[in-house]
Structure 1
Amino acid sequence: MSVKETRRIIEELIKEASGRNFVESVDLVINLKNVDMKNPNNRIKEEVILPEGLGDDVKIAVFAKGDLAERAKKMGVTVLSEGDIDKLGKSKSEAKKIAREYDFFLAEPQFMALIGRKLGQTLGPRGKMPSPAISDIEGIIERLKKSVRLNTKDNLTFHAKIGKTSVEPEKLAKNLEAVVDKVISRLNDGKANIRSIYLKTTMGKAKRVAI
């Protein structure tokens, strides 16, 4: 993958998006080949730390109380209580709404079983079951703010956001490389299992990137 060529494509995407009246996301589209997605072991479900971040706020919600809840609030994330878990468990529409709204969920270990019972059917299939929130809540949140989730499910084609058109092309290129490297590391035949890679903005046309 040529860094120079990738940057040129990103510059074209940003230029084409400049006439639109909102800042668009830049998405990576990866098409796999010769991978048996019926085998769960071949599916990719990873969090990738982007070296340059996403260029906007990653939405994080934390199920917590007491000191951990206060510390999470200071980090600027949404805090949900035990009562919220119960309310969401009684309303599928609200549970689905919150699952769409947030990129990552964290939870104090004492809430994990309750969340599994009340919200597992909503969060589980979306790959958004909470990770345990332990002592270093600040460090965990900082890491997630720079992360993107990869989840192929049983599909050969999947998407990953690598930033926004307001981010410098060089930084977007570094983020792209981080995601592609992670995907290659998870494939049995590495790069040979990638059919094609495309980049696109929210409203723009996809442009192919050489592997």
Structure 2
Amino acid sequence: MSAELEWIETAVKDAIEKSPKRNFLESVEMIVVLKDIDLKGPEGRIREVVELPYQPHKDVNICVVADGEMALTAQKLGVNVITREELQNMDKKRAKKLASTCDWVLVKVDLMGLAGKVLGPALGPRGKAPIPVPPNAPLQNLIEKYKKSVNIRIRKQPQVMCRIGTKDMDVKELAENAYAVLQALERKLPNAQHQVSKVIIKTTMGPPFIAVRR
């Protein structure tokens, strides 16, 4: 671990070691508190997909909206497939259920219009958006990418929250994941050095620990 990441590693270590044992595998979460952000301006509409260096040990539910060859490929890869016909017949209740259970929704590009109409109202409030996939795209590679990815987004408060891994992961891996998220966020801020107020690390139900940058 390089010296520039030691400050994050210390907070990750404290969060893991000082979190009481639970009867389930807790996630490790990161909260970046911002200041002097215009929530109605461009910097307040930050929305970025960040591919983490290390995949969390919890299952990520990838859903694929497709037909034809892409649907067959997705089925072979063991992901949840929604066909064109199923999408056309989907009611609001099922759309909401799908939006709550799918972490990422990959959509064959020619079905994007229909997916936006049917799933958009359910996905939007959850900070999710259908991801277009060209017909000949390497679906397996995309699925593996999104299993390692998180969505960072500023909502109603000047902060970003996301999962960086799970409690059973190596501290250094978690710190590198956290740093990848922080770098992606800072690249979107006009004055990151000033606007990043706090970096907080915690487990799902554990106490928060502030990472103090040196």
Q: TM-score, normalised by structure 2?
A: 0.90
Matching residue of 1:39 = 41
Q: Provide the residue aligned with 1:175 in structure 2.
A: 177
- Structure 1 position 41, deviation (Å): 5.0
Name the amino acid aligned to 2:34.
L
Give the partner amino acid of 1:114: L
1:103 is the counterpart of 2:123? no
Letter in 2 for 1:26: V
Cα distance, 1:43 vs. partner? 1.8
State the 1:18 CA deviation: 5.8
Q: Distance in 1 between matches of 2:84 and 2:103?
A: 20
Q: Do 1:2 and 1:210's aligned partners in 2 also have CA atoms closer than 8 Å? A: no
Equivalent residues of 1:197, 1:208 under 8 A apart: yes
- C-alpha distance after superposition, 1:120-153 (max 9, x if no partner): 2222333322111222212211111111111113
Match of 2:22 in 1: 20
Q: Would you say how many aligned residue pairs link Structure 1 and Structure 2? A: 209
Letter in 2 for 1:108: K
Measure how far apart 1:71 and its partner are: 1.2
Whole-angstrom distance in 1 between the partners of 2:26 and 2:8:
18
Provide structure 1 residue ranges, at least 5 long, that are not aligned to the other structure: none
Shift of 1:171: 0.3
In the alignment, is the contact (CA less than 8 A) between 1:28 and 1:162 conserved in 2?
A: yes
TM-aligned CA distance change 1:124 to 1:20, over 3 Å? closer
Indicate whether 1:118 and 2:88 are aligned: no
Which residue pairs with 2:54 in the alignment? 52
> Quick one: percent identity of the two aligned structures?
33
Structure 2 gap segments, 5+ residues each: none
CA distance in 1 between partners of 2:193 and 2:27 (Å)? 25
> What is the Cα deviation at residue 42 of structure 1?
3.5
Equivalent pair of 2:19/2:207 in contact (CA under 8 Å): no
Q: What's the RMSD between the two structures over aligned residues?
A: 1.8
In 2, the alpha carbon distance for the partners of 1:198 and 1:159 equals 9
Q: State how far apart, in whole Å, the 2-side matches of 1:153 and 1:10 are.
A: 25
Note the C-alpha offset of 1:53: 1.6
Code of the aligned partner of 1:197? V
For the residues of structure 2 that align with 1:38 and 1:137, how far apart are their CA atoms? Answer: 36
In the TM superposition, what are the counterparts of 1:1-211 in structure 2 within 5 Å? 2-17=4-19, 19-88=21-90, 90-91=91-92, 93-134=93-134, 135=136, 136-211=138-213
Give distance in 1, aligned partners of 2:149 and 2:66. 21
